[in-house]
Amino acid sequence: MLYQGVHKDGEKIAVKMLYDMPGLDEEQFINEFNNLSRLQHPNLVRLVGYCHEIQKICIEHNGRYIFAERIRMALCFEYMPFGSLDKHLYDEYNELDWKVRYTLIKRICKGLKYLHEELRPPIYHLDLKPANILLDENMLPKIADFGLSRFFAGNHSQITTSSIGTLGYLPPEYTERNLISDKFDIFSLGVVIIKIVTGPKGYSRSAEMSPQKFIELAQENWRKRLQATPMHLLESYSKQVKKCVEIALSSVEADRRKRPSIGDMSENWMTT
């Protein structure tokens, strides 16, 4: 559960309370704290503090009063005034114009590139989705919620028995064989990009038609929306829409070996 709080220096903060949550795993709290404490990037949420407190409480049990331990855990983050990205993607024609969406996509990719290719050992997020992407006062994105993320030193793919991720953002190699790798995040990122460009139902629509048809549909919809835009900008934006959808579709390939790396994706943005 998230609360708004105030740091001792007067700064607004977001407080993620974890106590009394069913199924809470203390190891997950420690994992998220350890991962967050390493991160230094403008497109990753910044950890500003934490609380881990054990209280002795008196409770009645089988007619007797006994003392039990209650663990209270909280993580404190920089405050994100525009909330999570999913609140802004209720359709493809809401208040987010194309320039904002394109910036969101590029910045999310920068954050993921830092996790995958600039950290040693790399961190795989394993639950990338719009609800875990927060927006600051300038509508710039920051990847959040690292409770399921993992370090991957040496072997960059593993079989897991853990339940991770969110339905709709899970790659087939995980749902079928419990395999996780960097391409898990790439698949999730592809779904996120499709939803940013084409709205929350875009990913399901993409499965109903050929890639080329879906790309053309996305371009046509944005051309209609941007019809008042000067022609030179309209052509540039249309190319960006095409590039985004092409990259996103390659990222959700069923065969993980055909998906690009985050480095490949980042290089592609340089050409648009």
CA gyration radius, the chain: 21
Residue 177 tokens read as: 């064989």
3-state secondary structure the chain: CEEEEECCCCCEEEEEECCCCCCCCHHHHHHHHHHHHHCCCCCECCEEEEEEEEEEEEEEECCEEEEEEEEEEEEEEECCCCCEHHHHCCCCCCCCCHHHHHHHHHHHHHHHHHHHHHCCCCEECCCCCHHHEEECCCCCEEECCCCCCEECCCCCEEECCCCCCCCCCCCHHHHHHCEEEHHHHHHHHHHHHHHHHHCCCHHHHHCCCCHHHHHHHHHHHHHHHCCCCCHHHHHHHHHHHHHHHHHHHHHCCCCHHHCCCHHHHHHHHCCC
Measured CA to CA in angstroms, residue 43 lies from 90, 111, 215, 217 at distances of 23, 5, 28, 30
Q: Among 25, 86, 127, 145, which one carries the catalytic annotation? A: 127
Cis check: omega of the bond before 141, within 30 degrees of 0: no
Residue 255 known to be catalytic = no
Active site residues: 127
